[in-house]
Chains A and B, each alone.
Chain A
Amino acid sequence: EAGVTQFPSHSVIEKGQTVTLRCDPISGHDNLYWYRRVMGKEIKFLLHFVKESKQDESGMPNNRFLAERTGGTYSTLKVQPAELEDSGVYFCASSQVGTQGQYFGPGTRLLVL
């Protein structure tokens, strides 16, 4: 069974540009989460989807970040326009509803110059 996959693995963009990150959860997992780790800091929760609905987006830093999960399958996280402080590793995770413990993807390393 395939795990959580994320694309791209790395992205280097200039300040002001737009970047879209993609996450494909494990098949059958209705819960999908986005997290971010800024260099040297803790992993922080961004938002949580249950199927296509946003269950909790309290961790989204600001309105430059837009997450979608059309159809309840894969999800995208768009940053527009990107700022220097957006650099970090963006993790996606998924889980089945009613279970504890999330399965993480390898992350997307974003560098904004």
Chain B
Amino acid sequence: AQSVTQLGSHVSVSEGALVLLRCNYSSSVPPYLFWYVQYPNQGLQLLLKYTSAATLVKGINGFEAEFKKSETSFHLTKPSAHMSDAAEYFCAVSDWGNNNDMRFGAGTRLTVKP
């Protein structure tokens, strides 16, 4: 069975600092991996996805994530945090060709301090 684990339910960074949100996956088959963001009172918005092309995936709002098979990780990073990045971030995994079988992590709430 597939699963993802997000390390840290809360992460706090200063504005301008590096953002690093951790996600490790477990999958018996090559996975599709996703990062979603949820801003207050809004739905989940797809940030980026890994679908077996480049291992370094660039998403919206300056975020990127690197698929590392040896570490079973898909950490989300942004070089410089902005106040508007404050939100909850979810990592998710699904297997190839099975778009419905998506498993989410518990979420990481990012706080950005001025």
Contact = CB atoms under 8 A, between A and B. Distances in A.
Contacts, number: 56
B90 interface: yes
Contacts of B90: 43
Nearest to B4: A42
Interface size band for A: 20 to 34
Interface size band for B: 20 to 34
A99 B102 contact: no
Interface stretch (B20-28, B38-46, B62-70): B38-46
Nearest to B9: A40
A95 B43 CA distance: 15
B103 interface: yes
A4 B43 contact: yes
A4 B100 CA distance: 17
B44 A104 contact: yes
B74 interface: no
Contacts of B92: 43
Given A31-B99, A100-B32, A44 B49 contact: no
Contacts of A45: 100-103
B11 interface: no
Contact of B99 (A42, A95, A107): A95
Contact of B41 (A4, A6, A55, A106): A106
7 contacts: A33-B100, A35-B104, A40-B106, A42-B105, A100-B49, A100-B51, A104-B44
